[in-house]
């Protein structure tokens, strides 16, 4: 026996069991006065309309309401993604081209602090004068300095001209794990390297 045949048999069994109750309901309906029949028909229509609204219309209206509430948030997220994409494209274009001038002191300082290098552990010597910047660091974490050096040189189109780093030591001369002292010189690329 296939599933369709089993389903048909189950439906017939249910209809057969409900047939006596349906016959009794039909007889009672026929026994009603015309006014009472209209009231029963109206109640049935009202019940059917409520059922249609509850099962078909209300879920659709709820979905539309939720989507209307969510749409502004999604649009603002899309605008933020578009702004970040535009910013990334601008940075990519700027990073690809060599720098024409040294970055401002505030830019370098903000970049160092964002990288996790405290302001009291580094000093910039004569930034903006000439074509190079000398950064003197004392007891800075190498795990923050080296990534900053890699990204800062690329972001600003600067070349690393000189790096002299030594392990930082405490007052007893013991090395401090992960901390370095040193001098880093960043400069504009040589004229022949500029395009």
pLDDT digits (tens, 9 = 90+) for 66-94: 999 999 998 988 888 888 888 877 776 65
Q: Is the residue at 7 inside a domain?
A: yes
pLDDT at 126: 66
Pair (164, 124) in one structural domain:
yes
Weakly modelled stretches of the chain, pLDDT under 70:
92-100, 126-130, 190-195
Instruction: List strand residue ranges (DSSP E) for 25-158, in order.
Output: 122-125, 132-141
pLDDT at 88: 78
Please give the Cα distance from 65 to 37 (Å, whole number). Answer: 39
What is this structure's pTM? 0.47
Whole-Å CA distances, 43 to 26, 32, 40, 50, 95: 16, 14, 5, 10, 75
pLDDT at 194: 44
pLDDT at 161: 85
Pair (183, 130) in one structural domain:
yes
Residue 155's CATH number:
3.30.1360
pLDDT at 39: 94
Pair (112, 182) in one structural domain:
yes
Instruction: Quote the mean pLDDT of the chain.
Output: 84
Q: Is the residue at 112 inside a domain?
A: yes
Q: Is the residue at 13 inside a domain?
A: yes
pLDDT at 43: 95
Containing structural domain, residue 130? 105-193
Q: Is the residue at 80 inside a domain?
A: no
pLDDT at 195: 45
Q: Is the residue at 100 inside a domain?
A: no
Q: Is the residue at 132 inside a domain?
A: yes
- Specify burial of residue 108 (Cβ count, 10 A radius: 0-12, 13-18, 19+): buried
Number of domains in the chain: 2
């Amino acid at each position: 026996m296939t599933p369709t045949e089993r389903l048909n048999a189950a439906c017939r069994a249910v209809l057969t069991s409900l047939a006596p109750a349906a016959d009794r309901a039909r007889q009672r309906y026929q026994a009603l006065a015309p006014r009472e029949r209209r009231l029963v028909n109206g109640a049935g229509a009202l019940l059917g309309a409520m059922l249609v609204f509850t099962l078909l219309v209300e879920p659709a209206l709820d979905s539309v309401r939720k989507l209307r509430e969510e749409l502004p948030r999604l649009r603002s997220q899309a605008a933020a993604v578009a702004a970040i994409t535009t910013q990334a494209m601008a940075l990519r274009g700027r990073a690809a081209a060599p720098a024409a001038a040294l970055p401002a002191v505030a830019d370098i300082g903000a970049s160092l602090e964002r990288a996790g290098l405290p302001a009291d552990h580094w000093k910039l010597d004569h930034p903006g004068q000439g074509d190079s910047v000398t950064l003197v660091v004392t007891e800075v974490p190498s795990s923050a300095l080296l990534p900053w050096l890699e990204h800062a040189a690329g972001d600003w189109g600067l070349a690393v001209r000189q790096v002299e780093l030594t392990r930082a030591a405490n007052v007893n001369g013991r090395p401090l794990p992960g901390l370095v002292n040193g001098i880093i010189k960043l400069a504009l690329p040589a004229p022949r390297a500029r395009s």
